[in-house]
Structure 1
Amino acid sequence: REEGIFAGGSSGAAVHVAVQLAKEVGKGKTIVVVLPDSGSSYISKFHSDEWMRDNGFAEDKGTGTVRDILGSKQRDVKTARKGDRVDQVVETMRGHGISQMPVVSEDGRAVGMVHEYDLLNALVAGKVKFADTIDAIVAPLQGALSLDTSIARLREVFAQDNVAVVKEGEKVVAIVTKIDLIDFLHRTAA
């Protein structure tokens, strides 16, 4: 659905094995997988949301959007900028109890993320010092969503171990965490 690959169950199994193999061989390697079948024979089965729900493979729970989760929640997003010093970013993260921060340009466009883990590794390895800028450890922005993103898509972001960075256009307007989704589900429970 996301990539437009109309494949069958054997293809899914082949991709699953390729992903497991990729985890074993590590980064920097290329894994090639052949998709041995198409989805033509499965249109009325797992390519059907109704069939998936009826057979217990998909749930309707968690309907809604990121906007619903945020509601009227104040959106005070702590951000860093390229050129900020490591010690300043560490102090902001520590002071606000956060483990990652979006990195934005002068005009507020999201350009990446600084993760606590990357900071720690760079400091321990001596790749950066507290007086250095964060520029060398800014990671690509992953998990970017809009306010109208579905909760199902949000769960996919969380499954990839990303925090959800909510953008309007190119500007970061909110961060959604797993606990935010749990709180929303609790508030809306019947």
Structure 2
Amino acid sequence: MAAVHESVLDAIGGTPLFRLTRLGAGIAAPIYAKAEFLNIGGSVKDRAALSMVLAAERDGLLKPGGTIIEATSGNTGIGLAIVGRQRGYRVIAGVSDKSSAEKADILRAYGAEVVLAPTAVPAEDPRHLFNVVQRLTEEIPGAWLANQYDNLANPDAHVRSTGPEIWEQTGGRVTHFVAGVGTGGTITGTGRYLKEASAGAVTVVGADPESSSYGGGDGSPWFVESIGHYLHPDTVEDRWPQALSSEVIDFYERIPDRESLLTARRLSREEGLLAGPSSGAAVAAALRVARGLGPDDLVVVVLPDSGRSYLSKVHSDTWMREWGFLEEGDATLRALLDTAGPLVAVDADATVGEAVEVLRTAPGGLAPAVLKRAARPYGVSATEVVGSVSREVLAAALADGSAKPGDPLGALLGTALPTVGVGQPPAEARAALADGRPGVLVLVDGRVAGLLAREVLL
């Protein structure tokens, strides 16, 4: 008989495990997915939201008529909107401008007020999402900032619920636990409980985007929402969340975006589990881990949220092609890209003279201007391209004296070149040349892999 609840808040938690029989075919160790998208708000963050609100009420931080404020990629805000509105609070969600549009729409549907702000700026920038919500908290009487990244009621929710559920559901047989790492609350709380329950026998694995600095990447942007740790090149102090206890995690599996996104699509098409891209990353990591295990092992992986929040992204063939994650058929830009030669990029904070020197090897004397990083082992993220540089423009400025070799390049930057995915047909790349654009940037897995000049395409 189905359960009867007095409130939707009573339905948070108690999510089922599903064995991944198709994705796990041929692997000796069974893999079970914890379907957290079946929580009432559609994500694992419902657990943390309820825990944080109850703790704030208990500690006198949140009082009747108060306002809940949070910086969120979407899911924690949705959980707080449900919990907060049920308990009579105003809810304001500061949402990253990189989050899917569906999440902001869902927040508004639950009665939250949405404020969009960037995260791809230095942490000290007043426009940064965390600084925006901090200002709102200071300005609004009776406001409480949930602060999921540093709020210990976040991991505590999983010590009290998620961990015990998995232990009971597997009859204590779980040997490996895999989860993505965003705030660190889910993996810290659940992992801590499972390690204690198993006397340290359970191995805890963090699924991390390849460029995230948690697992050792350079902190440059990636395309899987809600997990990983981004580091802007100009950030002065790199702070990790207090909700994350690194000692709980035995090791990280660093998953490229394409592997994460395609695995998420396989989950829906082969297992009937419509989950988001961070679920794809976690399952990709779980598959890697399970391939090295035997039949006496048992892997549990968390599916944090629903794919319904990403229908315009990972579950859209058009979006996947435009960002270079899908390559199907022969009529693509791959052949042109393979003959284009290596990508030449100019740091946006270079001098005019330095840019001229770099452009000597750039096809057509044209290059993207990008945010500076010490190294780019994964290529240039499309989200870090801030403009374009033309040898012709620089030469003219030097010739007429309006610029000197030692001057900053910034004033002479052109607009960013249009981007096309490697899986798009050449006709769509030519269409992007409208208004006399001198070339296009070709994306492979969301990163700029090459530049095709106008004369090459035409």
TM-score in terms of structure 2 length: 0.24
Tell me what 2:418 maps to. 143
CA deviation string 1:50-87 (max 9, x = no partner): xxxxxxxxxxxxx812124324x475211101221211
CA 1:166–1:181 in structure 2 vs 1: closer, same or farther (change >3 Å)?
same
Are 1:110 and 1:170, in contact at CA under 8 Å, matched by a contact in 2? no
Contact 1:64-1:150 within 8 A present in 2 as well: yes
Aligned-pair RMSD on alpha carbons? 2.7
Amino acid at match of 1:93: L
Within 1, Cα distance between the matches of 2:455 and 2:368?
19
The residue that corresponds to 1:9 in the other structure is: none
**Count, aligned residues:** 119
Q: CA deviation at 1:94?
A: 2.4
The answer to whether the 8 Å contact 2:369/2:387 transfers is: yes
User: In structure 1, the residue corresponding to 2:360 is in which secondary structure?
Assistant: helix
In 2, are the aligned partners of 1:119 and 1:137 still within 8 Å (CA)? yes
Partner of 1:65: 332
* Match of residue 106, structure 1, among 372, 378, 381: 372
**1:135 CA drift (Å):** 1.1
Amino acid at match of 2:353: D
Gaps of 5+ in 2: 1-329, 374-379
Q: Distance in 2 between matches of 1:165 and 1:74?
A: 11
Unaligned residue ranges in structure 1 (runs of 5+): 1-62, 183-190
Q: What is the CA–CA distance in structure 1 between the aligned matches of 2:344 and 2:439, rounded to whole Å? A: 14
1:1-190 correspondence runs (5 A): 64-71=331-338, 73=339, 75-96=341-362, 98-106=364-372, 108=380, 109-158=384-433, 160-168=436-444, 171-178=447-454, 180-181=456-457
Cα deviation, residue 178, structure 1: 4.8
Distance, in Å, in 2 between the alignment partners of 1:96 and 1:141 is 16
C-alpha distance in structure 1 between counterparts of 2:393 and 2:362, whole Å: 18
Please give the secondary structure, in 2, of the residue aligned with 1:76.
Answer: coil
Secondary structure, aligned partner of 1:106: coil
Q: Whose Rg is larger? A: 2
Answer yes or no: is the 8 Å Cα contact 2:438–2:454 preserved in 1.
no
Q: Which amino acid aligns with 1:103?
A: A
Give the fraction of aligned pairs with identical amino acids, expressed as a percent: 21
Equivalent residue, structure 2, for 1:49: none
Q: Deviations over 1:139-178 (max 9, x none)?
A: 1112321112221112223453421111246532111235
Q: Which amino acid aligns with 1:85?
A: T
Question: Structure 1's 168 and 96: CA in aligned 2 closer, same or farther, altered over 3 A?
Answer: closer
- The structure richer in strand per residue is 2
Q: What TM-score does the superposition give when structure 1 sets the normalisation length?
A: 0.52
- By how many angstroms is 1:112 displaced? 0.8
1:75, 1:173 within 8 Å by CA — same for their partners in 2? no
Q: Distance in 2 between matches of 1:161 and 1:110?
A: 16
